[in-house]
Structure 1
Amino acid sequence: MPDTRGPRAAGDVPDDDDRRPRGHLTGRAAILALVVCAIALTLAYPVREYIAQRQEIAELRHRERLAQREVERLAEHRRRLSDEAYIKREARRRLHYCMPGEKCYVVLDGGADDAPQQTGPARKPPWYETLWRSVEAADRP
């Protein structure tokens, strides 16, 4: 809106708008900043909870998929266990079961040593053995 008072003389008192320094924070701007901060703080907790719930939902969906795969695997295993041929095959393989009327042989390798071979690093003694050895060593003169 144009100034209707006319040209100013050299000794006129400046308006309120002219007295306000430029670039400083005004009362309105301070209140606006305070309101914006209050809104941000008010929304921070619900937004954080929303994000946490979304992550939890994603984790639960992942666990549901894993559980569904396990159910499918177990259903397949159950189906196989109802098959008589599978049961016979597993009994022979796992239990070395011999069907009635069959002759079964167990072949033993005569040249093999019954003791297990150690191919890896030396076995570390248990903690109590190490403790006892240290007590015995401390007891010696």
Structure 2
Amino acid sequence: MAQDGERDAPRGARDDTAGGAGGGGGRRGNPALTSRAAILAVVVCAIALSLAYPVREYIAQRKEIADLQHKENVARKQVDELAQRKQQLGDKSYIEREATRRLHYCRPDVKCYIVLDGGGDGGQQARKGGPATRPPWYETLWRSVETADRPR
């Protein structure tokens, strides 16, 4: 029955009673790292390392999915704009307005006038009337050949 009491007693108490008074006296302390703790640390590290790559891949795939969803939204907007443009180009009145505005076409029953007051193409008229800011490349090349050909 004394053995049963020793089993039920805590580890430190059993060591004290088992050692007796003449056995050296001090209680043995728990080492800082036991073999169980070392095995547990190795298992935890192995689990962490085995999960690191899949987690990284998961995060990369989520980012790729977000990028693709953004590209899809941009493409859908572009498709909507192009569908609207197609519908607009199918409208006969729009085509007539654009032909009149861009190409200066007129319907046979309408009198059209083009006013040439110089207000519309100010940049082109300034270039025609004013001096050229830079001569063409071939003139520059020919002048350099003539300059190199002259005696000094």
Report the TM-score, using the length of structure 1 for normalisation.
Answer: 0.68
The match for 1:114 is: 125
Alignment equivalent of 2:28, drawn from 18, 33, 36? 18
Alignment equivalent of 2:62, drawn from 54, 58, 61? 54
Aligned: 1:88 with 2:92: no
Gaps of 5+ in 2: 1-7, 128-133, 135-139
Q: Describe the superposition over 1:29-61 as per-residue Cα deviations: whole angstroms up to 9, x where unpaired.
A: 111111111111111001000111111111111
Gaps of 5+ in 1: 117-122, 124-128
Alignment equivalent of 1:9, drawn from 20, 24, 48? 20
Correspondence list, 1:60-99, <5 A: 60-99=68-107
Alpha carbons of 1:42 and 1:68: their partners in 2 closer, same or farther (altered >3 Å)? same
Amino acid at match of 2:70: H
* Equivalent-residue separation in structure 1 for 2:95 and 2:25 (angstroms): 104
* Equivalent-residue separation in structure 2 for 1:85 and 1:110 (angstroms): 29
Quick one: percent identity of the two aligned structures? 54
* Equivalent-residue separation in structure 2 for 1:11 and 1:19 (angstroms): 19
* Equivalent-residue separation in structure 2 for 1:89 and 1:57 (angstroms): 44
Instruction: Report deviation, 1:19.
Output: 5.0
Aligned: 1:27 with 2:35: yes
* Equivalent-residue separation in structure 2 for 1:14 and 1:26 (angstroms): 23
Alpha carbons of 1:14 and 1:43: their partners in 2 closer, same or farther (altered >3 Å)? farther
Equivalent pairs counted in the alignment come to 121
* Equivalent-residue separation in structure 1 for 2:89 and 2:29 (angstroms): 94
Structure number with the higher helix fraction is: 2
Report the TM-score, using the length of structure 2 for normalisation.
Answer: 0.64
Alpha carbons of 1:7 and 1:49: their partners in 2 closer, same or farther (altered >3 Å)? closer
Root mean square deviation of aligned Cα: 3.4
Considering Cα pairs closer than 8 Å and 6+ residues apart, tell me whether 1 or 2 has the greater RCO: 2
